[in-house]
Amino acid sequence: MTRSSIALLALLLAGFGSSHAATPYERPAGIAEEKEPLISAGYRALFTCTGHFSAGRPLADILQLELADVSDPAYPAPVIDQRRHLVTATDPSGRIVRIAAWRDTMGCTILPPHWTMADVPRLPYVALPRAPDVSAQPFPAGDKVDLPANGIDSRYASLGPVLDAAFDGRSFGTPGIVTTGVIVLKNGRIVAERYRPHFGIRSGYRTWSTAKSMSAILIGIAASKGILDVEGRADIPEWSHPGDPRQSITYKHLLWMSSGLFSGGANTNAIYFGGQDIVSAAAKTTLEAEPGKRWKYANNDTLLLMHALRTRMKDDLAYLRFPYEELFHPIGMYQTRFETDHLGNFIGSSQTYTTARDLARFGLLLSADGVWNGRRIVPEGWIRFLTSPAPAKAPAADDWGYGGQFWLLDGMPGIPPGTYSTAGNKGQFVTVVPGHDLVVVRTGIDPNGKRFDPHRLVAEVLKAVGK
């Protein structure tokens, strides 16, 4: 790919865009400012929806935590419609009205600004089997965990000070961090578990970019079933016209965050909170660099993976069931919702709603190389591939590395070789320490500008539990 050909494509697509103006909430690559009233009101509606209807938490606590980063005395509190499972939020003027709708199997979806409550029946929906009652079954198949009142196995009492520090708001990150849950699993068992008030085993939070790791696992499962070829080019219909240079982008380039596409990096606020669909944002961007040569963290690369999966499956209901039938339900993740945009595209870069317990199950699957109760869920070698360094991002000491939608922590002090982790905004981490049979889950609602350091927590857990 030459610079001249990349520039030519950019000019052609720019000309096309100027003659087909996007609606106001559609932005190139989904980039939008969080403080913009359209986005801020959408954020407030969506997070109130998930916090209340998915987790059963009170509005007062949601205002204090989830909405802290978009708090403004001029904004009225979101309004919860308990009967219709809707949340409405407005800007200070009341002219911008944003609606989030909850459905039992789908979680919450933010409606585009031109939709009203009358459009809610247009949202995608798929019926799923009712979750079984597993309250009496031992973890991980069920929810029964035998721990004393302090939440720490007596054989691992040394974890007490570590958990205290994880919740003190300062020890493992920037002062002001807010931990909502910590689970430590040793030899496949929960040996420590603690939650912030209003949180527990059945109340959760948005995974943010921890969802990327789940998407990567789903891509491997799809490949093992012959749905797609991870060695081949990504199947994006919008790139199918002859001569489109984006046809050189492969599934592996997307997994490695090396597509070379223009993006806002971690900024896809128009999709997440503005109501823009994934295709108009992620599938219509131009190349900035040769695929495979540049590493750039980009939400859109993950969104394109899930768009390609939908394209390959050619069956929207099967697509909507796929994460549940092939990953979540087989390992007991019944509290997890893989949410979509209003057109039924999985927002697999961020918008998964789950609990710390379900994240612990996901971590156990990873630590067992994708095998669950003797059944192989994830194809052999796939997790090893995802947790190997991406070609365009060489490992470096005292820095996080990157694989295929997983972060590599083994360059950090006190961290054993091969340690890897999911990582989501505001502190969502599932960290696996191979060779030590150790998984550490931390969930949080860290305010903007505050950062939790999972490698520091894991290093202290290792000191406490030993091998």
SS in 3 state form for 309-335? HHHHHCCHHHHHHHHHHHHHHHHCCCC
- Cβ-Cβ contacts under 8 Å for 246 (sequence gap 6 or more): 9, 236, 239, 261, 287
What integer is the mean pLDDT of 114-141? 96
What integer is the mean pLDDT of 265-270? 98
CA distance 24 to 27: 8
Cα-to-chain-centroid distance, residue 192: 24
How many residues can be counted in the chain? Answer: 467
35: how many CB neighbours lie within 10 A of its CB?
A: 12
pLDDT recorded at residue 467: 66
In the predicted model, is pLDDT for residue 13 greater than 50?
no
Question: Of 350, 352, 354, whose CA–CA distance to 268 is shortest?
Answer: 350
What integer is the mean pLDDT of 75-85? 98
Domains of the chain: 37-122 (no CATH), 131-467 (3.40.710.10)
CB distance 320 to 275 below 8 Å = no
Q: What band does 226 get if pLDDT is binned at 50, 70 and 90?
A: very high
Q: Indicate the DSSP class of residue 54.
A: I
CA distance 136 to 162: 29
What integer is the mean pLDDT of 97-109? 97
% the chain with pLDDT above 90: 93
Higher pLDDT, 307 or 466: 307
Q: pLDDT tens digits for 341-367?
A: 999 999 999 999 999 999 999 999 999
- Name the CA radius of gyration of the chain, rounded: 22
Q: Which tokens go with 137? A: 């079954």
In the predicted model, is pLDDT for residue 21 greater than 70?
no
What integer is the mean pLDDT of 360-375? 98
CB distance 406 to 389 below 8 Å = no
Tokens 């350091």 belong to which residue? 453
Angle between helices 210-224 and 316-323 (to 10 degrees): 120
In the predicted model, is pLDDT for residue 42 greater than 60?
yes
pLDDT recorded at residue 204: 86
CB distance 245 to 332 below 8 Å = no
Taking each continuous run of H as one helix and of E as one strand, the counts in the chain are: 13, 16
Three-state secondary structure call for residue 461: helix
Q: What band does 6 get if pLDDT is binned at 50, 70 and 90?
A: very low
CA distance 143 to 164: 24
Question: Of 10, 23, 97, whose CA–CA distance to 281 is shortest?
Answer: 23
pLDDT recorded at residue 466: 82
pLDDT recorded at residue 303: 98
What integer is the mean pLDDT of 152-161? 97
pLDDT recorded at residue 25: 78
Q: pLDDT tens digits for 430-450?
A: 999 999 999 999 999 999 999
pLDDT recorded at residue 24: 66
% the chain with pLDDT above 70: 95
pLDDT recorded at residue 165: 98
pTM for this predicted structure: 0.94
- Cβ-Cβ contacts under 8 Å for 311 (sequence gap 6 or more): 235, 236, 237
pLDDT recorded at residue 23: 66
Phi, psi of 420, deg, nearest 5: -140, 165
